[in-house]
Amino acid sequence: MEYPGFPNTEPKKSSSYMHREEVFNYIKRFCEHYDLRKYIQTHTYVTDISPKTNERCPEWTVSYRDVRDKEVKQADFDAVFVCTGHQHTPYIPDIDGVEQFQGEIIHSKNYRIPEKFANERIVILGAGFSGTDLSFALAPYAPQIFLSHNQDRLESVLPENVSQKPGIKRMKQKTVMFLDDTEAEVDALLVCTGYRYSFPFLSDDVITATRDKVTPLYKHVVNAKYSNLFFIGILELVHHFGLGHIMSKYAVRVLDGDAILPSETEMLKDIDNDFELRKQRGDKPHLFSMNEQTWQLDREFAKLAGVAPSPDVFEKLAEFVINHGIKNNLGTYREKKFKFSEDGKSFIIEN
């Protein structure tokens, strides 16, 4: 959760897992340290980004409005970086009968406090990070929680009032039926099924986005048709601060002419080959699990960007957290505090 060259020097709390306020404060200190605020215009809502020509490196017209006075404005730019990430537009799957359900339906993006669900019976759809986190957060308040998912049964110990169930078959006015044909009365449905890619400010002839695929992006960053349009942060389950930094460095090298891109035809072929390889492995198009693929990608981009890759110890620590924390200790793994050795090649557990 650090950018290379700018360590987080604030006193750490008892855990190595940073709270959202700590992350936000770190980003603010980063901006202040490099005097970036004068370059940042806030309170803007971008409505359209369009190339002025069909050239490979066109100028871009950006239409936006100030959210305070609603005035619509335009400005031209030499390049565009799209950094909206992939956790903005909720993905809600089609559920048979969901329109009949009389309880509350909420996506994890809009969840705020557990007290709101006190004394309610809840079904949580999805057992990724959001789904499992919410099952622990709500357990002290809700008398019964059904964690509904289609992945392998979780090995970790869950709160006593949390039961694992298969996916949802259908909803009725006050009940949910699971794929095993068991039925339960519930008061609320929490949807933790992730997000879908959405770039409403770009036309379909510039970028095509489905739930889990954005194309045509060379190396998941450079638009193959317009090589001065870059996307940073659309990959899932990667170390976003470190890898985002490296990807940005690569994009800057492309802009400066220090990194020479292949032809559009060659880039499109590379994109197709990448998607085909991931399809053969059974991977989602933009999903990189925290395993050897992530760190291979890190090293590949570092070479393209002309910078040092992330330290090898990051890979070791991520592997340890997954195998000894997330898989078996969902409720307690975030309490751990780690410390890197002085030579930066290993880590120890302080608590």
Q: What is the pLDDT of residues 90-112, one digit of tens each?
A: 999 999 999 999 999 999 999 99
Name which CATH class applies to 41-88+196-310: alpha beta
DSSP state of 306: T
- The H or E element spanning position 123 is strand 121-125
Contact in structure between 236 and 284 (CB atoms under 8 Å): yes
- At residue 276, what is the residue type? E
Number of separate helices (H) and strands (E) present in the chain: 6, 21
201 touches 49 (CB < 8 A): yes
Neighbours of 139 (CB within 10 A): 19
- The CB-side HSE value for 139 (13 A sphere, CA atoms) comes to 16
**pLDDT for the residue 324:** 84
Contact by Cβ (8 Å): 126, 197: no
| Cβ atoms 255, 86 nearer than 8 A | no
The pLDDT > 70 percentage for the chain reads 97
Does residue 330 carry a pLDDT above 60? yes
Q: Where in the chain is the domain with CATH 3.50.50.60?
A: 41-88+196-310, 92-191
Strands (E), 83-204: 89-90, 104-107, 121-125, 144-148, 162-165, 168-171, 175-178, 183-185, 188-191, 195-196
pLDDT at position 289? 55
pLDDT number for residue 16: 87
Q: What is the pTM of this model?
A: 0.90
Give the tens place of pLDDT for each residue, 204-213. Answer: 999 999 877 8
For residue 137, the surrounding DSSP H or E stretch is: helix 129-138
Among 245-259, 285-299, 323-337, top mean pLDDT goes to 245-259
pLDDT in tens, 248-292: 999 999 999 999 999 999 999 999 998 888 888 877 776 655 566
Fold of 92-191: FAD/NAD(P)-binding domain (3.50.50)
Question: Could you give the CA distance from residue 103 to residue 223 in angstroms, rounded to a whole number?
Answer: 43
Whole-number pLDDT of residue 10 = 82
Listed in sequence order, the DSSP H helices in 173-325 are 240-256, 264-281, 292-305, 312-321
User: What's the mean pLDDT in 3-7?
Assistant: 89
- Bridge partners of 14? none
What pLDDT is stored for residue 4 in this prediction?
87
- Kindly report the number of other CB atoms within 10 A of residue 131's CB atom: 21
**Tens of pLDDT along 163-188?**
999 999 999 999 999 999 999 999 99
pLDDT at 134: 97
- Higher per-residue pLDDT: 176 or 85: 176
Q: What is the pLDDT of residue 343?
A: 85
For position 31, what pLDDT does the model report? 96
Buried b (16+ CB within 10 A) or exposed e, 109-124: eebeeeeebeebbbbb
**Would you state the structure tokens that stand for residue 318, as one six-digit string?**
């991520």
Q: Is the pLDDT of residue 11 over 80?
A: no
Rounded alpha-carbon distances, angstroms, from residue 40 to 28, 37, 44, 53: 12, 5, 10, 26
User: How would you class 323 by CB atoms within 10 Å of its CB: exposed for 0-12, middle for 13-18, buried for 19 or more?
Assistant: exposed
The per-residue pLDDT for range 111-162, each reduced to its tens digit, is 999 999 999 999 999 999 999 999 999 999 999 999 999 999 999 999 999 9
